[in-house]
Structure 1
Amino acid sequence: MKKYITLLFFGIMSILAAAGCSSDDNGSDEPTKPETLAPVAIEKTNSTKIYMHYMSWFETNESSADKKWGYHWTMANKNPNNTDANGRREIASHYYPLIGPYHSGDKNVIENHLLMMKYAGVDGLLIDWYGTYDVNDYRIVKENTEQLIALLNKVGLEYAIVYEDRFLTNVVNAGKAISVTSAAKTDLAYMEKNYFEDDNYIKINGKPLLLNFGPIVLQTPAEWTNVFNILTAKPTFLTLWDQSVEAGANASGEYAWVYKDNSYLTNFYINTKPKLGVAMGSAYPGFKDFYAQGGGGAAIGWTIEHNNGATLDETLSLAKNANLNYLQLITWNDFGEGTMFEPTTDFGYTYVEKVKAFSGVKNTESFFAEISKLYNLRIQKKGNADAQKKLDQAFNYFVSMQPAKAKELLNEIK
């Protein structure tokens, strides 16, 4: 009997010791797993749906297959490997992103952009999209877009596609499709299968929203009817202002853009909007392209000065007075045309702060600097698993609208 009692005693002690070692190992060798929190919508008073036009076309020398910076940072004659005395890279823009030039498929960049937009009161993104074909940089744009989409739901933002039919001719000329309509059908079928059914894909009047930057190649109602026949149901389809006639009955309405001066917006709101089923307004901080300086082609030929934020104030005021259901902000990051809302070294957080005020975000405290700090720490602590787990937790606090907790956690990371 004593033999069995002795064996039982040592067996229990061994189990307790093993449990203790296991507990110690988890506590000391592995970082605490971050708490996953569901996204919470930001509280705001403006009922207008506010969407941000977004470009996913940026590549760096680290992300691209040929180890060269992408066209949208270089155009024809700029070299981002060159830096000035302040460490700023030489890029094809009059303006400089606060986080520096980046790769659009970088998760840390996407995280930064989406949190900035969420805290500014933006409801969703309208993503500039070139289609499915491996021609020029179209495949890269598609891949970067899908990296973006993968994080959108985690942040709690919606999205829709802005289809660029202007590039369909390039697809045919490259021998990838037999006609522009067959290429468009392939693209639309892909959208329906992979995007339209997403819970956070923007729906208007119960149908997925699809914008077209044009039409430019498919310029007749018959062509659009042919293309849309591939779909189970037609989308809520918006063309550029004054161009819905080219889509005929396929068009559900139009969206405003940026052109020469603000009088075109005024005309859209007064004369065009009342005639449309769905009208989407626009607001922008300015327009100043870099094409001539960058060797990227002829200059557009006109400029809308930023005027220290006055241009954005005016276009937001026009939007407010127009009593819009939908507003597109132009753009988050078209640095080549100088229409960016993204924080820059030139304007800081001025434009996202103005959007936040327009949105009527109820929490008036600003957390944009903390969102930047999250990005900077992601870069500084690369390879530090413990720090990255804490940063994951800070991200979860941000998306669940607990920014004070995120700020406190960020301040703990040295």
Structure 2
Amino acid sequence: MSPIFGEAFFPEIDARLRLLNQDRVAQKQLAEQRDAQVTKLTPEYEQKILDARAQAETRVSERAELQCLKQETRNISRKLVTAQSLINEKSHQIKALEAEKRALEIQSNESPKFVLGADVNSPSYQALSKEPESQQSVSVVSDETKLIAFYLPQFHRVAENSEWWGPGFTEWANVARATPNFIGHNQPKIPRELGYYDLTHSGVMSEQVEIAKLYGLHGFCFYHYWFSGRRILEKPVDIFMESDIDFKFCLCWANENWTRAWDGDTKNILLRQKYAEGDAEKFIDGMVNYFRDDRYIKINGNPLLVVYRAKDIPDPKRWFSIWRDRVAAHGFPGIHISVVDFYDITTPEEVEADSLVEFPPHKFNGPQNHPTEFPSMTNPNFSGGIVDYRKMIAQSANRPRPSFAMFRGIIPGWDNTARRQNNPTIVINSTPKLYGEWLRFLRFQARQDHPNPDNRFIFINAWNEWGEGCYLEPDQRWGLSYLEETLRGKHFDEGSEPVGIDAARSRLFDEIIAQTEHQEGPGASLPKEALAIIAPPSQMAVRTSTVLRRWPLLHSAARYVYRRWHKKVSSYHG
């Protein structure tokens, strides 16, 4: 019998098989050891997992508690604001009731004085029984002027700002790092009740609206950023549209270029307006959904649309004509186009718009409003401008009534140091009381110029322009004072109203002088005669400046010469 094939030719197979068996045994032992280790470690890992879950639950619980605390804080803030508003309202009512009570007491204590032999129709009876003017009752009425505050929907993260300014950028970064430029300069601006908010967080806008309504505002005018179909900073307005917040609103197309200088110039452009063919139709069609909202502000049924820089549009008359046709096609009776009173425009007819919106500090920051004394500068690199708030008020009051429709504008203050540390425009001598007197005058003027309260608007620049130092929201320095002054003018004594605009202007100037008699700081004293001659810049100066803006160097030289000349003329008249 022949031998087996493997045994005859491959004697090493047995050795290999033995090695394989040994490997299997070793692997089995290793597997058993691993199983033993796993069995041993499993409780430990399970405990760690349980601990991690417990820690996570603790964190969730802590976050929930933190959210509850934040909500309680917001509720307390709202209650405080509500209480303050009620106190203000009750104060006005108490003052009115006290005045009526005094008048009634005097009337009841004073008996008619008869002249012997005189009847009730005699002149002597009427003269002696007449109630003195000082004893006449007070008639407090409510002003129906609608206050609209411009609203900046910027304070949240967007990809574009992260790309241009750094990851997570919002303008709070600019606001927080601003530093004083002179002695007594209030920088940085620090918010109070609302804090450094994020407008994408639910509840923030509800709180803003609650405060705005408590202090007499009618609505917000949201800035709308649209670049040939591309929207930016749209989330806050979208959140508002999806909400049931009961507050009026309109939109302002902020149609200037986005630049690194924050001023819409033609250098260092980050996002450019193209005004491409078909953009007029696309833009207005995109606005229709806003117009259909019941909260949207309308004038005689026509939705109000504000345009920031009308003359930047290559052919604004054609654009506005297209808008009117498209809006009518969507079923509206028309559209009310109001253009901002920018440096290059003087009447709405120039672009076939319906009205002009005054927009301080535009046209209010010229040499006629420079302070007589400048503050003591601490920034050696400062090259900006300083403007006296009181002179701005005087210029506003001295502006003659135009022949066209115009909505007056007001600012609580202005200081864009946060955006331009070394080259800002800063308004000094602004206080809540002066703001309140200015607004009181504009309310009176609006009642004179617009008898129909439905078409009576005043625009406030702004609700929350923190980067420009231009806001009504409460801050650490003034608290709720600007809001309180906004509400104060809501009620007035009809019997003590001035007779005509000249009397109202004189009263305003007297208040400015009275409130600044003991004021410390540059140019504290300001005579009434100086206020009376401050007027808006001449139309010739405005038009010349508009033309020269095409050549920046020539424009800068001409502006320098004009300001030096104006300073000499002002000194001569002084």
TM above 0.5, one fold? yes
TM-fit CA distance, 1:121:
1.5
Counterpart of 1:182? 278
TM-fit CA distance, 1:355:
1.4
Counterpart of 1:301? 425
Q: Distance in 1 between matches of 2:347 and 2:258?
A: 20
Counterpart of 1:320? 443
1:111 corresponds to 2:111: no
Q: Distance in 1 between matches of 2:477 and 2:340?
A: 30
Q: Could you tell me which amino acid in structure 1 is paired with residue 305 of structure 2?
A: L
Counterpart of 1:150? 242
Q: Distance in 1 between matches of 2:433 and 2:271?
A: 48
Relative to the length of structure 1, the TM-score reads 0.61
Please list, as runs of the form range in 1=range in 2, the aligned pairs for 1:303-382 lying within 5 A after superposition. 303-307=427-431, 309-324=432-447, 325-360=456-491
Counterpart of 1:222? 317
1:59 corresponds to 2:156: yes
Counterpart of 2:252? 162
TM-fit CA distance, 1:256:
1.2
Contact residue 181 and residue 226 of structure 1 kept, 8 A: no
Which digits, 9 at most, give the CA deviation of each residue in 1:323-350, with x for residues without a partner? 3411112211000111110111221111
Counterpart of 1:196? 291
Counterpart of 1:407? none
Q: Distance in 2 between matches of 1:331 and 1:175?
A: 24
| Residues paired across the two proteins, number | 294
Q: Distance in 2 between matches of 1:198 and 1:61?
A: 26
Relative to the length of structure 2, the TM-score reads 0.45
Structure scoring higher RCO (CA < 8 A, sep ≥ 6) equals 1
Contact residue 56 and residue 127 of structure 1 kept, 8 A: yes
**CA 1:221 to 1:241, structure 2 compared with 1: closer, same or farther past 3 Å?**
same
Which digits, 9 at most, give the CA deviation of each residue in 1:35-69, with x for residues without a partner? xxxxxxx998211111111111112599x988944
**CA 1:96 to 1:177, structure 2 compared with 1: closer, same or farther past 3 Å?**
closer
Q: Secondary structure at the match of 1:208?
A: strand
1:48 corresponds to 2:145: yes
Which digits, 9 at most, give the CA deviation of each residue in 1:169-201, with x for residues without a partner? 99xx99999744633432221012x10111111
TM-fit CA distance, 1:269:
6.3
Q: Which structure 2 segments of 5+ residues have no match?
A: 1-85, 90-140, 179-185, 329-333, 366-388, 448-455, 493-574
Q: Could you tell me which amino acid in structure 1 is paired with residue 352 of structure 2?
A: N
Q: Of residues 359, 374, 377 in structure 2, which corresponds to 1:257?
A: 359
Q: Could you tell me which amino acid in structure 1 is paired with residue 234 of structure 2?
A: K
Counterpart of 2:417? 290
Contact residue 155 and residue 172 of structure 2 kept, 8 A: yes
Counterpart of 1:72? 171
Higher helix content, 1 or 2: 2
Q: Secondary structure at the match of 1:251?
A: coil
Q: Secondary structure at the match of 2:206?
A: helix
**CA 1:158 to 1:61, structure 2 compared with 1: closer, same or farther past 3 Å?**
closer
Q: Distance in 2 between matches of 1:262 and 1:250?
A: 34
TM-fit CA distance, 1:93:
6.5
Contact residue 244 and residue 251 of structure 1 kept, 8 A: no
Counterpart of 1:238? 338
Q: Distance in 1 between matches of 2:314 and 2:434?
A: 33
Q: Distance in 2 between matches of 1:115 and 1:203?
A: 22
Q: Distance in 2 between matches of 1:348 and 1:124?
A: 21
Q: Secondary structure at the match of 2:338?
A: strand
TM-fit CA distance, 1:239:
1.0
Q: Distance in 2 between matches of 1:224 and 1:176?
A: 18
Q: Distance in 1 between matches of 2:277 and 2:491?
A: 43
**CA 1:272 to 1:104, structure 2 compared with 1: closer, same or farther past 3 Å?**
farther
Which digits, 9 at most, give the CA deviation of each residue in 1:185-238, with x for residues without a partner? 32221012x101111110002200011112251164434335425622341111
TM-fit CA distance, 1:360:
3.3
Q: Secondary structure at the match of 1:225?
A: helix
Identity fraction in percent: 17
Contact residue 152 and residue 223 of structure 2 kept, 8 A: yes
Please, what is the CA RMSD of the aligned residues? 3.8
Which digits, 9 at most, give the CA deviation of each residue in 1:354-376, with x for residues without a partner? 11222239xxxxxxxxxxxxxxx
